[in-house]
Structure 1
Amino acid sequence: MKGGIAAVFAILAIISLVVQPGGAVTCGQVDAALVPCISYLTGHVDSPSAACCGGVKAVKGMAETTADKRACCSCVKAAANRYADLKDDAAQSLPTKCGVQMDVPISRSVDCDKIN
């Protein structure tokens, strides 16, 4: 009986970590949101898709606190560096093309620690 109760509490603890509201932003979340933008960012299409812009808006929504903004920035920077053919001008224009005011730049060279 004690083992069963302990197992239930362990499972609940793990679930609370996974679905903790207001928790830290993960690169998995940021990457998933921005995957639809890859074809635009690499120059294969001339404008971002609706799904891409939805992802940009989602990232903006994730980046509420300074810590979240810096985490998103680090994730975006890491993702940008994985794509050798990423077009810097497309990356810089993405938020504007999607009609989103971003506090997190999409850049390979930004210093994320300077974001407030």
Structure 2
Amino acid sequence: MASSMSLKLACLAILCLVAAAPQAQGAITCGQVISNLAPCIAYVRSNGAGGGVPAPCCNGIRSLNNAARTTPDLQSACNCIKGVAAGIPGINFGLTNRLPGMCGVNIPYKISPTTDCKSVK
């Protein structure tokens, strides 16, 4: 029951962050970013319990990587991920940063609450 409540609180936090996030100039929206990465949340909160990365998580990472090609899109995705990740309790950022590589994707920034998304190109 507590886990269910934590997940509901995390979802509420995500919604609040999305609503409060400044709109970036990129074509990609924070909603698209969240939609693509939502299947990864349970995996990074459980420290990878259950084995390999879930296929929907890798599919989302690949889709996001394909959608965010321009500098504004990359910065937009970075800002969204940074803001949302900071609001989800229990995220293992070390595992989170390994996820793209585990899915065969390279991203040009680290996922961290301190990432400077303005420097992403």
Match of 1:71 in 2: 76
Q: What letter corresponds to residue 59 of structure 2 in structure 1?
A: G
TM-score of the pair, normalised by structure 1: 0.74
TM-score of the pair, normalised by structure 2: 0.72
Distance between the aligned counterparts of 2:84 and 2:52, measured in 1? 20
Q: What is the total number of aligned residue pairs between the two structures?
A: 94
Question: Relative to 1, partners in 2 of residues 1:80 and 1:110: Cα closer, same or farther, differing over 3 Å?
Answer: same
Q: What is the RMSD computed on CA atoms of the aligned residues?
A: 1.5
Q: What letter corresponds to residue 24 of structure 1 in structure 2?
A: A
Question: Which structure exhibits the higher relative contact order, with contacts defined as CA atoms closer than 8 Å and separated by 6 or more residues?
Answer: 2
Q: Please list every run of 5 or more consecutive structure 2 residues that lacks an aligned counterpart in the other structure.
A: 1-25
Question: Relative to 1, partners in 2 of residues 1:97 and 1:34: Cα closer, same or farther, differing over 3 Å?
Answer: same
Q: Give 1:24's match in structure 2, choosing from 23, 27, 32.
A: 27
Q: Please list every run of 5 or more consecutive structure 1 residues that lacks an aligned counterpart in the other structure.
A: 1-22
Identity of aligned residues (%): 35
Match of 2:116 in 1: 111
1:37 paired to 2:40:
yes
Runs of 4+ in 1 over 6 A off after TM superposition: none
Q: Based on CA coordinates, which of the two structures has the bigger radius of gyration? A: 1
